[in-house]
Chain A
């Protein structure tokens, strides 16, 4: 239909008045969207009828405006009693939720603590087990040392402290049968870093030192009983302090202990 004709039909006035059926109304609304001329016409009709009706409006009090706002709770008005109730219930709800949350938090904390305790106790238990194992090892070592020392076939050689360290002493347990040599070095000071004690089997005439081993891991050995190489025939034993790895001949200035068989 021609736009002008459509407008002239008067349908747009009825559209603004709200007198068209729903399908007709939707149809006009669609046309207005797509046709600026129709849309402008509708707006003009509306302006005219709003102006006409407004100018015939009887006086109504300003109170209406405030009353409506109060009904809509658009302003602070004393109409919120009902609302306050709902708020009260809401607050209880929130409070309950907060309490529940706190409760869960507390329980979680408890669980965490208990878990930590279990972990701690497990660690302690492991430590005790380790200690026990260490003690057993220690005990074994002690048994071995004792067995070495007690062996009836031993020749015990006491080594006295020498000029560099008069307070030092040591003992050599020399098994005459197996020729094995054990050194009890409990009477020697800990060697400085990078130094090591070296054990010498000595023949006296002429003085011939033969290295029978180093007391390595001195610190780590709790019993300070060391097994060294066998000595076939020796007239004396000596202990010197040597650079790590040992020396070919003893450094006599660093002779810590010496004793004749």
Chain B
């Protein structure tokens, strides 16, 4: 199912839409949440909260304001960040800047795709460390270009193109 087909169901408030929505995006959103919220139970709470928000606030989404995926991605990131602020603000030790999404692999038993059918995990390990960092900061953590350039100590003007090159590598691998 494409995103456009999913949107048609969502507009109709068709309950099947929820199942499709969950199948298509729960893993992606959960990885984003898990990068930010380390505690598994809390991360799952956030995931639930995110889907409730998506479903209940769908009327406020308009295609003219961007991709549906981007909209739900922002909800996931913001909800996760709100959770961090409310619970773990004083315990920022858990959010070391060095932690990136690849660390999700550390506890490989807990991974959904123990056998990664498309082998992305292996591919990512071979990816340039700078790529992992930049995708981690921009995509997973929602850093601005400014923040990313400071964190990575690269010129502001190169952040965008740098990220694009990394995504292009990924796309070449995935053939998309």
CB-based contact B120/A15 at 8 Å: no
Query: Interface code A27-60, partner B: CB below 8 Å = 1, 0 otherwise?
Result: 0111000000000001111111111111111111
Interface residue? A152 (CB, 8 A): no
Q: Are A74 and B107 in contact (CB under 8 A)?
A: no
Asked if residues A52 and B138 are in contact (CB atoms below 8 Å), the reply is no
What class of interface size applies to chain B in its complex with A?
35 or more
Given known contacts A48-B176, A50-B25, A71-B48, is B65 in contact with A13 (CB within 8 Å)?
no
Is A17 an interface position by the 8 A CB rule? yes
Q: Which residue of B lies closest to A43 (CB)?
A: B3
Smallest CB–CB gap between A109 and chain B, Å? 43
Compute how far the CA of A123 lies from the CA of B55 in the bound complex, rounded to whole angstroms. Answer: 70
* Complex contact A53–B101 (CB within 8 A): yes
The listed residue (B3, B31, B142, B176) touching A58 by CB distance below 8 A is B31
Chain A residues in 8 Å Cβ range of B36: none
Which stretch, B81-89, B90-98, B158-166, touches the partner chain A? B158-166
Option from A29, A49, A65 in Cβ contact (under 8 Å) with B167: A49
A44 contacts which chain B residues (CB < 8 A)?
A: 171, 176
Q: Does B59 contact A (CB under 8 A)?
A: no
Given contacts A56-B101, A58-B111, contact A13 B167 (CB under 8 A): yes
Contact A48 B34, CB 8 Å, known A18-B66, A25-B65 = no
CB contact under 8 A between A74 and B18, given known A19-B145, A55-B116, A58-B30: yes
Interface of A is mostly: helix
- Does A64 count as interface, using CB distance less than 8 angstroms? yes
> B161 contacts which chain A residues (CB < 8 A)?
8-10
Which residues of chain B have C-beta atoms less than 8 A from A47's C-beta? Answer: 174, 176
Asked whether any CB of chain B lies closer than 8 Å to the CB of A22, the reply is yes
Q: Given that A47-B176, A53-B140, A74-B18 are contacting pairs, would A58 and B163 also be in contact in the complex, using a CB cutoff of 8 Å?
A: no
Q: Which residues of A contact B124 (CB under 8 A)?
A: 52, 56
- Given contacts A8-B164, A53-B28, A54-B28, whether A59 and B65 have CB atoms under 8 Å apart is no
Q: Given that A15-B70, A51-B118, A64-B48 are contacting pairs, would A58 and B112 also be in contact in the complex, using a CB cutoff of 8 Å?
A: yes
Of residues 58 through 94 on chain B, the ones whose CB sits less than 8 Å from some CB of chain A are: 63-67, 69-71, 73-74, 77
Query: Which residue on chain A has the smallest CB distance to residue B47?
Result: A64
| Contact present for B139 and A53 (CB under 8 Å) | yes
Across-interface contacts of B176 in A (CB, < 8 A) = 44, 47-48, 51
Contact between chains at A48 and B171 (CB < 8 Å)? yes
Q: How far is the CB of B140 from chain A (nearest CB, A)?
A: 7
CA distance A53 to B32 in the complex (A): 7
CA distance A15 to B164 in the complex (A): 12
B105 within 8 A of A: yes
Among A47, A51, A56, A68, chain B packs the most CB atoms within 10 A around the CB of A56
Determine whether the beta carbon of B63 is less than 8 Å from that of A13.
Answer: no
Query: A residues engaging B (CB < 8 A)?
Result: 8-11, 13-19, 22, 25-26, 28-30, 42-61, 64-65, 67-69, 71-72, 74
- Which 9 pairs of residues, A with B, have the shortest CB-CB distance? A10-B160, A10-B164, A57-B27, A54-B27, A53-B28, A57-B31, A55-B120, A18-B70, A18-B74
Additional A-B contact list (17), CB under 8 Å, known A13-B163, A58-B112, A72-B52: A9-B164, A15-B66, A18-B71, A45-B167, A48-B171, A48-B174, A48-B176, A51-B118, A53-B31, A53-B101, A55-B116, A57-B27, A57-B31, A57-B34, A57-B113, A58-B107, A68-B48
19 contacts between A and B (CB under 8 A): A10-B162, A14-B160, A45-B171, A48-B167, A50-B69, A53-B28, A53-B31, A53-B101, A53-B139, A56-B102, A57-B34, A57-B113, A58-B31, A58-B110, A59-B111, A69-B18, A72-B56, A74-B15, A74-B18
